[in-house]
């Protein structure tokens, strides 16, 4: 899965550690989600969406073609 | 107001998580050090009590610090987030399967005349393989 987490985070000038604390996960987990190496669970995806006030499908997309 | 509270809560979260994680790590290391000491003392004492019933509690006494260590380890596992849990799951699965295969293979080799090895070697073997599994699993998500 692809996502725009890194951009959203950069817009708000949050570090990976800042976002990790908001999500109650480790900084490594935020990094792995951003690089697409780890796909978050549905509850965590909802939490991410709530923090950025967006819908899940606005942040995550199934493949690299549709954004 | 709510954002201030939120920030405070975040810092509290960071602080408490780090503190308790650290505490369990310290507990684990302390338990392992205690294990080495108890093991050493028991091995020395055991030689003098070989014909007494005391040899049995003496022989299993090193298990007590091991249990404390396992308890601290399990508490630490419960603090992990979902990706860290997955990494641990992969490492532990690898360690269990590899240990099973290695001990089974060696068990058969013993039938072919290889020297009998102590069962106490199994735990360090699990620990070693778990470390390898952890290293590989962590790289996959980096």
Q: Contact B82/A37, CB-based, under 8 Å?
A: no
pLDDT the model gives residue B1: 47
Distance CA B80, CA B137 (A): 15
- Is B47 within 8 Å of chain A by CB? no
Greatest Cα pair distance, chain A, in angstroms, is 31
Q: Which tops the pLDDT comparison, B8 or A60?
A: A60
Distance CA A45, CA A51 (A): 10
Q: Point out the residue among A22, A25, A37 whose CB comes nearest to the CB of B81.
A: A25
Distance CA A41, CA A16 (A): 18
Which residues in chain A have Cβ-Cβ distances shorter than 8 Å to B84?
26, 28-29
3-state secondary structure of A2: strand
Q: Contact B81/A40, CB-based, under 8 Å?
A: no
* Chain B closest-CA separation from residue A67 CA (Å): 23
3-state secondary structure of A64: coil
pLDDT the model gives residue B10: 59
Q: Contact A26/B140, CB-based, under 8 Å?
A: no
Which residues in chain A have Cβ-Cβ distances shorter than 8 Å to B86?
38
The whole-model pTM stands at: 0.79
pLDDT the model gives residue A65: 54
Contact B130, B95 (CB under 8 A): yes
Q: Contact B81/A29, CB-based, under 8 Å?
A: yes
3-state secondary structure of A63: coil
Of A11-15, A34-38, B6-10, B83-87, which gets the smallest average pLDDT?
B6-10
pLDDT averaged over every residue in chain A: 91
pLDDT the model gives residue B25: 86
Q: From first to last of its 142 residues, what are the pLDDT tens digits of chain B?
A: 455 555 555 566 666 666 777 888 899 899 999 999 999 999 899 888 888 899 999 999 999 999 999 999 898 888 899 999 999 999 999 999 999 999 999 999 999 999 999 998 998 999 999 999 999 999 999 8
């Amino acid at each position: 899965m692809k996502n725009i987490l890194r951009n959203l985070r950069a817009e708000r000038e949050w570090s990976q550690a800042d976002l990790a604390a908001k999500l109650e996960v480790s900084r490594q987990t935020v990094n792995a989600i951003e690089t697409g190496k780890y796909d978050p669970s549905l509850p965590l995806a909802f939490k991410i969406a709530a923090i950025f006030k967006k819908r899940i499908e606005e942040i995550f997309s199934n493949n690299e073609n549709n954004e | 107001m709510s954002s201030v509270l939120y920030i405070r809560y975040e810092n509290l979260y960071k602080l408490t998580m780090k503190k308790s994680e650290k505490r369990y790590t310290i507990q684990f290391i302390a338990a392992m050090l205690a294990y080495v000491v108890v093991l050493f003392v028991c091995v020395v004492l055991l030689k003098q009590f070989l014909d007494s019933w005391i040899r049995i509690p003496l022989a299993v006494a090193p298990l007590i610090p091991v249990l404390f260590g396992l308890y601290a380890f399990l508490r630490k596992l419960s603090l992990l987030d979902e990706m860290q849990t997955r990494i641990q799951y992969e490492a532990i699965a690898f360690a269990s399967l590899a240990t099973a295969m290695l001990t089974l293979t060696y068990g058969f080799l013993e039938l072919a005349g290889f020297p009998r090895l102590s069962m106490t070697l199994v735990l360090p073997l699990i620990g070693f393989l778990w470390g390898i599994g952890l290293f590989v699993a962590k790289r996959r998500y980096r």
